[in-house]
A and B are shown apart, each in its own frame.
Chain A
């Protein structure tokens, strides 16, 4: 039994080790640092509404934990949401939310990249990093 667990551990650590190497060009320490910085931004700017655990508030503010768009590939949507805020009545994963989301145009490209990297890699979320260059490019297109 012990042996099996041991083999399994070795296997899973190997795969865990291999995955980030294959997927992203960003090294683990860089990702960790971005998440740490992103968390600081999150606590100041987002936590009030989306809550510490990313669970949101029923009917008011959507959860970020597990949200399909937060984990999704459309980074421009996420960047735009942070910069412009959100005030339209839209369906998010089958629910509607009544609150308005703040605009955060005053945050730097790095801060926006960090906070998005944080929400994409916290709680149960696991998704690719958002880079400052991506924010810069998207911001130029957002009026």
Chain B
């Protein structure tokens, strides 16, 4: 009797799995359908956009595998997990959640030489990938860096990797302008700024050592208030970064700046970084109208006095407070020639421009030649906010945060409001 039940159970099971298998064969012939409204985005002619995944949570940085999968780092755990692995199993152009793992939240994620790297706000981990680009052991990653400053403000750790076995980690300064009392009117700037010993720069670590900390990392570059976008440029073999400039010139120094100037300044800056570089924070900020580094008012500046003779100049200076959250050099073959080797920057969008309307909330393109900008930057993809004018950042329905290039040369953009992943492709037809 027992045997018979078992047998029939097995039979039923086999039928079910047979049907299921059949289903997925049907699914694989599903065709990718073009989105007629381009996911609500405004993009240049010849490009198309679609939503490939949605409602993932606070999707920060993203990275595509060579096999077409996508890893997404979440800034807040969703059902206890901080990384989502997506893939388009049935070929319909939409990605499904294949796996969720990691018990820490954060921003940074990257792939290099068969490893997935991901950061919490204090540590960096790595996971070995198999030949399908999938994490082999999601439960026990190697912790390669630990104990970095996490003091709430600017705590996210963005990462990039070079070809020589190094990882670059941003440690943002937990401060606006290194005042004795942060963001407080009348409080002096500390000199020298003690924060710079442990934050406000990019640190370099080895990719393959366990539990490195400040004692065995190298402060690769300093004077960088908070870098969220960074990328290693393969062609130049060099690190490039985008920095969030300081806030509150008007609130802290109403006698020197009005609300309009304070909305536009200081510039959001894009730098090429050589080892040992100093970008000047907190002592100076960049002013794209005067086209120079200006001494910070906390350090005796008046909005005009130049400063930072030893500090580097930006390659590009964008309007204030737009929050460049991701940087990606385009190396694919799909987009037209002008995009090759150029830089895409995802602007999260401002909050520090009120009472003026907020700005940003779009992806920008900067044409490049030989490692230097070659022409004016332009808005590449707009419309993420879903509203005309953004008065308060909370009105934005989506905010661009991460960028990655798919194996076919498409560009993916993540949004950390609703957890939407956009795919932007070009077709010459």
A10-53 interface bits toward B, Cβ cutoff 8 Å, 1 = contact, 0 = none: 00000000000000000000000000000000011101110111
Report A-chain residues with C-beta under 8 Å of the C-beta of B152. 87, 89, 98-100
- Closest chain B residue to A89 by CB distance? B152
Query: Roughly how many angstroms separate A87 CA and B154 CA in the complex, as a whole number?
Result: 13
Nearest chain B CB to A99's CB is how many angstroms away?
A: 6
Chain A facing B: main interface SS: loop
Nearest chain B CB to A91's CB is how many angstroms away?
A: 13
Name A98's contact: one of B155, B248, B250, B355 (CB within 8 Å).
B155
Query: Is A58 an interface residue, CB under 8 A from the partner?
Result: yes
Q: A52-B391, A52-B392, A55-B392 are in contact. Are A106 and B351 (CB under 8 A)?
A: no
Nearest chain B CB to A59's CB is how many angstroms away?
A: 8
The answer to whether B251 touches A57, judged by C-beta atoms less than 8 angstroms apart, is: no
Query: Is B352 an interface residue, CB under 8 A from the partner?
Result: yes
Query: Is B92 an interface residue, CB under 8 A from the partner?
Result: no
Chain-A contact segment, one of B6-14, B181-189, B329-337, B403-411: B181-189
The answer to whether B184 touches A48, judged by C-beta atoms less than 8 angstroms apart, is: no
Name B354's contact: one of A44, A45, A52 (CB within 8 Å).
A52
Interface size, chain A (Cβ < 8 Å): 28
Name A60's contact: one of B181, B254, B351 (CB within 8 Å).
B351
Chain B facing A: main interface SS: loop
Query: Is A66 an interface residue, CB under 8 A from the partner?
Result: no
Query: Is B153 an interface residue, CB under 8 A from the partner?
Result: yes
Query: Roughly how many angstroms separate A106 CA and B417 CA in the complex, as a whole number?
Result: 37
The answer to whether B184 touches A47, judged by C-beta atoms less than 8 angstroms apart, is: no
Nearest chain A CB to B158's CB is how many angstroms away?
A: 15
The answer to whether B185 touches A102, judged by C-beta atoms less than 8 angstroms apart, is: yes
The answer to whether A48 touches B354, judged by C-beta atoms less than 8 angstroms apart, is: yes
Q: A57-B351, A100-B152 are in contact. Are A45 and B185 (CB under 8 A)?
A: yes
Name B394's contact: one of A49, A56, A87 (CB within 8 Å).
A56
21 A-B residue contacts at CB 8 Å?
A: A45-B251, A47-B355, A48-B247, A48-B248, A51-B351, A52-B354, A52-B391, A52-B392, A58-B393, A58-B394, A59-B75, A85-B183, A98-B153, A99-B152, A99-B153, A100-B174, A100-B175, A100-B176, A100-B182, A103-B184, A103-B187
